[in-house]
Amino acid sequence: MTSIKEAISNKPWLGWLLFLATVAVVFLLGMLASSVVERRSEAKYAYRPPTDLQPFETDNSVWGKFYPREYQSWLMTADTSFRSKHAGSKPLDILTTDPELVVLWAGYSFSKDYKQARGHYYAIEDNRNTLRTGGPLTPDAGPQPATCWTCKSPDVPRMINKMGAESFYSSTWSALGPEITNTIGCGDCHNPEDMTLTITRPALREAFERQGRDISDAGHQEMRSLVCAQCHVEYYFRGEGKYLTLPWDEGMTADDMEKYYDSYEFADWTHAISKAPMLKAQHPDYELFKTGIHAQRGVACADCHMPFVAEGGVKYTSHHVQSPLNMISSTCSVCHRQSEEELMNNVYERQDKIAALRNYLEDILVVAHYEAKAAWDAGADDRTMEPVLRLIRQAQWRWDFCAASHGGSFHAPIEMASVLSNGIMKGLEARIDLASILTGMGIRDITVPDISSRAAAQKSIGLDMESLIREKEEFKKQILPLWDKASL
Ligand code: HEC
Ligand code: HEC
Ligand code: HEC
Ligand code: HEC
């Protein structure tokens, strides 16, 4: 055995070799470190924190002075031209394309008006114009609580800071109308001091707390989804004060949330046809997404809906939040090698199959509501009907949970298929029970009225659409100008 020292003294060139090898290794390590730093700063972007953005600045154009690229791309959410096979930004009247929904929501405001979501730019406008909001023409009173504004504007965190969350929620939609004027924007997701991502909505923070988690501990990649989870989640208005609450205490699946609502005997409304105590699901996008493969692999909402783009050598985050199918090359293709066409087909295949299950459940539910009505009309009692109505509630909750999550068929196809299959089972069980009740009462035929168009379906459930539309027009003529003036 010869030591290294002896080896070097025997062969002097070996020392030089060792020296050069060390230099090479150090050089390579240096290259690696600088590339890591470069990537990190790339991820962190190059910008100078602003010096004079005020806390709770709500005017998006003021932020836009400091961040023109992000602002310009944010303005693009006004574009309504893109339409994919099942979604997109075009304003589609869903009750017209699918009048069965009028029946499913009979007795609830969604049967009056329901349109496909479009860009963040329109959140205020669409909230003001839908027939679901409004009511008596007095500026300070209306049937809707102020809670309805919560997901629409950076004016909301400003007003919650001023009034406190409790008084904000228990105020009315009309009373706060003049205050809520800037559509979803910078102040909803960013801290104006340093532009970090931030949680501005108390409901999400509180839901985390009740689960024993502190949302302030969330990492950077998690925050790129959590800013969206402030609004794209299931929620309900708790109690008289209409306190906005995420029903996550038992967990975040359809079954868990149903358990939570059942424990309160909570119902959003009583169905006008079947008298079932119903639940209305509201876009559980984040919850469903979390069960899918992309979330499990650490992909965030922003990776697909707010991609990095380059412009004149500068990289920035596109704030044109929209369907990723309108920007496959900057979203999916960052991680997947397949052609755009193949990736698009992957999405459509999942959506088509889930839509077929959803439509099947929808048909079952429509008939079940009318069969329950027939049983009531023939004199069935509460005790006979209770278990059937519970099954209808359970089946429709599962249908709505999936129908209301517009991206869910791609975000989490397996979970969606599982929830819908359970819904189909419950719906069929309800119909089997109803068949035996109806047979026992000697009833063979049940009548389903004409529901072949939106107008026919709305008429069949007794909605007076003309007066609703007239009221809305009055609101736009009389009240809206006052709101706009007050906000100046
Ligand atoms: C729905 C949430 C949301 C809204 C609304 C929003 N942003 Fe962002 N913003 C993000 C996300 C997510 C990122 C990526 C941050 C990251 O990964 O660190 C980002 C990044 C940025 C950055 C860092 C530079 C870059 O391009 O990555 C700036 C500056 C910025 N936004 C400005 C704005 C401005 C100005 C507005 C209003 C016109 C705005 N943002 C509205 C979520 C939002
Ligand atoms: C302050 C609440 C809020 C936040 C935060 C928010 N959204 Fe939205 N989002 C909405 C509302 C409300 C609409 C529907 C607007 C309309 O139709 O008028 C919407 C619509 C959308 C649409 C449909 C757009 C289209 O053109 O079809 C997508 C996609 C979307 N949001 C994704 C996201 C993602 C991803 C995030 C996080 C980066 C996010 N949203 C953050 C409230 C929010
Ligand atoms: C940030 C990276 C990233 C982006 C962006 C991304 N994916 Fe993926 N995708 C993944 C990973 C990781 C998986 C899991 C694959 C694995 O682990 O083998 C996956 C899985 C998939 C799968 C198989 C899932 C299944 O159902 O079994 C499909 C299909 C897919 N992605 C399509 C898309 C499409 C379409 C887009 C754009 C809308 C997209 N991906 C965007 C990383 C990404
Ligand atoms: C892997 C990519 C990917 C990720 C990550 C992702 N989405 Fe999506 N999302 C899609 C695709 C693809 C669609 C279907 C778009 C279509 O059909 O045009 C979609 C659809 C949507 C829609 C309906 C859009 C419309 O036009 O009606 C919303 C809302 C949405 N996503 C929100 C979110 C939220 C919130 C998150 C995070 C919790 C998220 N997405 C994460 C790919 C993604």
Confirm or reject: Cβ of 301 under 6 Å from ligand 4: yes
Burial class from Cβ neighbours inside 10 Å (0-12, 13-18, 19+) for residue 204 reads buried
Residue ranges around ligand 3 (CB below 6 Å)? 293-294, 297, 299, 303-304, 324, 331-332, 334-336, 343, 346-347, 413
What average pLDDT does this structure show over 216-233?
Answer: 98
Q: What are phi and psi of 184, to 5 degrees?
A: -35, 125
Q: Are 243 and 166 in contact (CB under 8 A)?
A: yes
> What is the sign, positive or negative, of the torsion defined by CA atoms of 408, 409, 411, 414?
positive
Alpha carbon dihedral 334, 340, 342, 347, in 10-degree steps, equals: 80
Distance in angstroms (rounded) separating the CA atoms of residues 451 and 420 = 24
In total, the chain counts a number of residues equal to 488
Distance in angstroms (rounded) separating the CA atoms of residues 24 and 311 = 36
Tell me the percentage of the chain whose pLDDT exceeds 90: 83
| pLDDT at 24 (0 to 100) | 81
Distance in angstroms (rounded) separating the CA atoms of residues 228 and 300 = 10
**Which two three-digit tokens encode residue 229?**
């989870």
> How far away, in angstroms, is 405 Cα from ligand 4 center?
9
Residue nearest atom 41 of ligand 2, based on CA coordinates: 228
- The label of the residue with tokens 């099954």 reads 391
Distance in angstroms (rounded) separating the CA atoms of residues 227 and 318 = 15
> How far away, in angstroms, is 321 Cα from ligand 1 center?
11
- The label of the residue with tokens 């909505």 reads 201
For the chain, report the end-to-end CA distance as a whole number of angstroms: 89
Q: How far is CA 461 from CA 98, 273, 447, in A?
A: 15, 8, 14
Distance in angstroms (rounded) separating the CA atoms of residues 41 and 148 = 39
Closest among 116, 118, 115, 242 to 172, alpha carbons compared: 242
Closest among 240, 233, 226, 175 to 401, alpha carbons compared: 233
Residue 357: how many CB atoms within 10 A of its CB? 19
Q: Are 336 and 346 in contact (CB under 8 A)?
A: no
- The label of the residue with tokens 């499913």 reads 104
> How far away, in angstroms, is 349 Cα from ligand 3 center?
14
Q: How many CA atoms lie within 13 A of 245 on its CB side?
A: 18
Mean pLDDT rounded to a whole number for the chain: 92
| pLDDT at 487 (0 to 100) | 81
Closest among 464, 369, 456 to 131, alpha carbons compared: 464
**Which two three-digit tokens encode residue 105?**
């929501």
| pLDDT at 28 (0 to 100) | 78
Residue nearest atom 3 of ligand 3, based on CA coordinates: 335
| pLDDT at 8 (0 to 100) | 63
Q: Which among 232, 290, 299 is the best mutation to test ligand 2's pocket, defined by most ligand atoms within 8 Å of the CB?
A: 232
| pLDDT at 34 (0 to 100) | 55
Question: Relative to the alpha carbon of 156, which ligand is closest?
Answer: 2
82-127 pLDDT per residue, tens: 999 999 999 899 999 999 999 999 999 999 999 999 999 999 999 9
**Which two three-digit tokens encode residue 326?**
């309108």
In the structure, what pLDDT confidence band is assigned to residue 3 with cuts at 50, 70 and 90? low
Q: Which amino acid is at 397?
A: W
300-314 pLDDT per residue, tens: 999 999 999 998 889
Confirm or reject: Cβ of 228 under 6 Å from ligand 2: yes
Residue ranges around ligand 1 (CB below 6 Å)? 45, 47, 60, 63-64, 67, 70-71, 74, 184-186, 188-190, 195, 197, 224, 227, 302, 306, 316-317, 319
Q: Which atom of ligand 2 is nearest to the CA of 304?
A: 35
Distance in angstroms (rounded) separating the CA atoms of residues 356 and 353 = 5
Q: Are 157 and 462 in contact (CB under 8 A)?
A: no
> How far away, in angstroms, is 164 Cα from ligand 1 center?
26
> How far away, in angstroms, is 236 Cα from ligand 1 center?
28
